[in-house]
Chain A
């Protein structure tokens, strides 16, 4: 695929699907209350940001979470790192339930789950030196590495490809890519087993994205750290993750190994998402082979999501059953082991072009008709 041009070809990690479950999430929900009313403010509704998702991240694997903006990816990441309190469901880390654990109870686990943030300009304290930023987590957790914290910080700076001499510099003296490397070094400082990377490259330049993704991949493979990689860039996730989950409006609609999701997707939304990846050789002979689906409208409001299947309002195959009954996330016949899809009327497992393009956007359809008409 063309998007792989910037990045080296995906490598099969040794840990592919082999590790035991590290993090198990079941029926996780997060509803943000909406306050309103006068004179007494009360809860008048809820933004159902995450509404019952199940995930399993195995030790040493990289698990990708994709979906369009506002589908609850970042909320999921923040729930797992316990920055947000889940409304319901369970999160268990190595068999231990941490769903509602307090700060003190979480203390031993804190060093094992770390996070890399989206915005490198807001994730580093402007008043602290790089050395202080990276050694902060060690200080909080009382970790005294052999040779002292400063030596360890210098090592970490070297691992992430920065000059160890930058120890006494301040974040404002670095570029976005360098700052994100500092963020990675901070996450690595505690030698975690799981890193939640919340869109770690989306704020960066494309050329820098490749560098940072390769750095993360190096870290993941050499140190055997499991990643929950949240992104909206399908190419980056394909490059980085062995297993991928697709989210839509607070729900996981399809999950499976990379191969299955990218070449044999079953859910109509996954098809639409993959077909939305821009193609460079649009007028080539080859281009005709890819399917073309153009959705219309926006994601419905998470305040009052559609009944049944949440994608039905934008789906070209939707029938009465979709509104009445919520499709379960199950393995469909013909799917590989571990490839689960939540759809009543799944698509064929292919991304080859179909006889007729699916263009749901009326404006786009009209435009194309005009062009075709001589």
Chain B
């Protein structure tokens, strides 16, 4: 019962073995290199199909955001053109596009917005860009604050720990959503007098700072706990016995060991900030027209004028945001699983 394939394989096996022998040796030499916990994490992550697909989706969104000006240039439009004035033949007297499905056509891929008649496709591109940039800035700021305050509180202990912990408790006790809404106009008016027109960058800075002030606590608390646990480990004592200064202990011994919670937490935090920012813009305290924004597209789509006519306007920002948030959260889960495979979710 020997098949021709078997014979063929058997015939060449001697040669194959002969080739494999020297190949195995450099492999062994590589084995002695040793895999760092980071490399092991990467290997585990690559095996997780959900994680890899979500990572590609997330990367796609970031690329779209980054390349928004380029894409709209190729597409030949920008989100600020008022098509109701430029091409009045496309709209009826109420400012609603004449063509069905919100004016979707070969020229306007995702349709036109009722009212001013902005192009939905470019608006979505720029909306993604603005939302992601703001969320990324907030995440970076909160992670930095969390590391500095959390690790300092955990490692140094004593009075610093006491004050940082009380500050965290106090800020966590504030109802953050309400506080965002209430404080946004206040923060904006700190920079610009209410009578003047508010420049866009002031709104952006205000958004970032409000979310930053109320967003760093959870990470800081986790890092404080981790640093507290690490402080008692014997390798920290070993470094102290060798005379290592506190700065070096924090940099070389503590920080590499808190990378895991930082990465995991920031992958959970970023989508939260995206939704929070969209929520603020939806409620009208974030970015306002004509600056394109993800959340503000929802608010436009939910207005009476639009809802009566078509659901299409809700469709594009809605679907894209759902895909993004789900992918990012799945990515967060996969990162977490890759870092500590032992803990069950």
Residues of A within 8 A of B (CB): 78, 81, 83, 103, 106-107, 110-111, 113-115, 117-119, 122-130, 133, 136-137, 140-141, 165-166, 168-170, 172-173, 183, 186, 190
Contacts and interface: CB of A to CB of B under 8 A. Distances in A.
A83 B235 contact: no
B36 A123 contact: no
A130 B36 CA distance: 11
B27 to A, nearest CB: 14
Given A122-B233, A123-B235, A129 B242 contact: no
Given A122-B234, A170-B34, A172-B37, A83 B240 contact: yes
Interface string B238-249: 111111110010
Name the 3 nearest CB pairs between A and B, nearest first: A169-B34, A110-B243, A137-B242
A107 B241 CA distance: 10
A85 to B, nearest CB: 12
Given A117-B238, A127-B259, A140-B239, 19 more contacts: A78-B237, A81-B241, A83-B237, A83-B240, A106-B243, A111-B243, A114-B241, A119-B234, A123-B237, A125-B235, A125-B256, A125-B257, A136-B242, A136-B244, A169-B32, A169-B33, A170-B35, A170-B36, A183-B238
B253 interface: yes
Given A127-B36, A165-B32, A103 B243 contact: yes
Interface in B284-335: none
Interface size grouping (class) on chain B: 20 to 34
Interface in B217-252: 233-235, 237-245, 248, 252
Nearest to A186: B238
6 contacts: A78-B237, A107-B243, A111-B242, A127-B257, A129-B34, A140-B248
B34 A123 contact: no
A129 B37 CA distance: 10
A126 B257 contact: yes
A124 B235 contact: yes
B34 A118 contact: no
Nearest to B34: A169
Contacts of A119: 234
Contacts of A126: 37, 257
Interface in B188-239: 233-235, 237-239
Interface in B70-100: none
Contacts of A130: 34
Contacts of B240: 83
Contacts of B244: 136, 140
Contacts of A123: 233-235, 237-238
A186 B242 CA distance: 10
B126 to A, nearest CB: 41
A17 to B, nearest CB: 27
User: Chain B: interface secondary structure?
Assistant: helix
Contacts of B238: 115, 117, 123, 183, 186
A136 B248 CA distance: 11
Contacts of A186: 238
B253 A115 contact: no
Nearest to B236: A125
Contacts of A129: 34, 36
B317 to A, nearest CB: 42
Contacts of A113: 241
Nearest to A170: B34
B99 to A, nearest CB: 60
A120 to B, nearest CB: 9
A186 B237 CA distance: 13
Q: Which of B34, B35, B36, B237 has the most CB of A within 10 A?
A: B34
B257 A118 contact: no
B238 to A, nearest CB: 6
Contacts of B235: 122-125, 133
B239 A136 contact: yes
A168 B242 contact: no
Contacts of A111: 242-243
B237 A117 contact: yes
A119 B236 CA distance: 13
Nearest to B243: A110
A28 B208 CA distance: 55
A141 B242 contact: yes
Nearest to B237: A83
A106 B239 CA distance: 14
B245 A173 contact: no
B258 to A, nearest CB: 10
A111 B243 CA distance: 8
B308 to A, nearest CB: 59
Contact of B242 (A78, A125, A140): A140
Contact of A168 (B34, B234, B253): B34
A79 to B, nearest CB: 12
A27 B257 CA distance: 39
A103 B242 CA distance: 10
Nearest to B38: A127
Contacts of B241: 81, 83, 110, 113-115
A127 B37 contact: yes
Contact of B256 (A110, A128, A136): A128
A173 B252 CA distance: 20
A168 B32 contact: yes
A107 B244 CA distance: 9
Contacts of B234: 117-119, 122-123
Nearest to A116: B238
Contacts of B237: 78, 83, 115, 117, 123
